[in-house]
Chains A and B, each alone.
Chain A
Amino acid sequence: MKLIVNGDDKTFAEEKLSVAALLKLQSVEYADMVSVQLNEGFVRRPDYDATFLKEGDTVNFLYFMGGGR
């Protein structure tokens, strides 16, 4: 399956891939460290396991950054 992940074209051997599985494959240390944008919308944390990706989907992992002072 081909996906665009954080702007890069990626090919995955998996036929079926949930958001949770993609987070693991992409070495996101904790699912809670990111907000997941799927195409136009956002997938919220409770839905990571049940949301499956389709060929050509655009996925962005947007990291939480809490610093500033």
Chain B
Amino acid sequence: MRDFNEEELERYSRHILLQDVGIEGQEKICAAKVLVIGAGGLGSPIAYYLAAAGVGTIGIADGDVVDVSNLQRQIIHTTAEVGAPKVESAKRKMLAINPGVTVDTYRMMLDASNILEVVAPYDFVIDGTDNFAAKFLVNDACVLAGKPFSHGGILRFTGQTMTVRPRESACYACVFDRPPPAGVVPTCASAGVLGAVAGMLGAIQAAEALKFITGAGEPLYDALLSFDARTMDFRKTRLARAPGCRVCGDAGIVSLQDYEPAACDLKPAG
């Protein structure tokens, strides 16, 4: 139990007022450790909301520096920070919003050799990566480490997310099995993405993390939420664990391997 001071009671009052959160829920938030992988389109709103919510320890992993083409959607970075490491830029904004949180930065691209060590101290992991090799690696690492996590993917005007409790609910590989062949599925870099779509999905993922921490509501376990911002149609597809899942099934993986990074261009029609 922690004693909130006056400032904290004020700061978190709108959480504390929520019947499903309350003082106990806010205490859990302040004691929680959440890792955000990717400080980009999804990672920006996620990092902002987790810091604002008072998540006690927030890890943020990204090996990149801010590029001017990021600024259309990666709202935690500013024009003046072009060229700066993304994790440092993100940390500055997070601490500016809430000096009461601890931000641990990992200025590296995670791979099979280092990801288990990075996820180990955290209660919950959020995928904000931008390619299938990384998304499957995050899934595999979280399944192996038994870490609950939020998967997120965006493209053009669409987004999708699911929350995974390893070996209890469907994992990313139960649904998508393995990365699509290189070049078949376009990336944001080749096909574009509406900046606000990243914000929509990132906010949903942040909400999932806070629901997981506080126990409020029902996380998106065994469900894939997808939306299309052109029509604002939201759809929840019910899922179940695949008994023969390559990753979390009975004969699932016992160690990590890196996936082939996919090519970035859409196959020409025909």
Contact = CB atoms under 8 A, between A and B. Distances in A.
The answer to whether A and B assemble together is yes
Interface string B162-200: 000000000000111100110011011000010000100
Q: How large is the interface on A (under 10, 10 to 19, 20 to 34, 35 or more residues)?
A: 20 to 34
B130 A65 contact: no
Given A63-B160, A68-B129, A33 B41 contact: no
Nearest to B262: A66
Contacts of B198: 68
Contact of B175 (A29, A42, A66, A67): A42
A62 interface: yes
B174 A42 contact: yes
Given A42-B242, A64-B180, 17 more contacts: A7-B235, A29-B269, A32-B181, A42-B177, A62-B226, A62-B237, A63-B185, A65-B185, A66-B135, A66-B155, A66-B185, A67-B154, A67-B155, A67-B187, A69-B38, A69-B41, A69-B43
Contacts of A33: 180, 184-185
A32 B184 contact: yes
Nearest to B129: A68
A35 B172 CA distance: 11
A44 B40 CA distance: 32
A68 B181 contact: no
Contact of B153 (A29, A30, A60, A64): A64
B42 interface: yes
A63 B237 CA distance: 12
Contact of A63 (B38, B129, B158, B267): B158
B240 interface: yes
B132 interface: yes
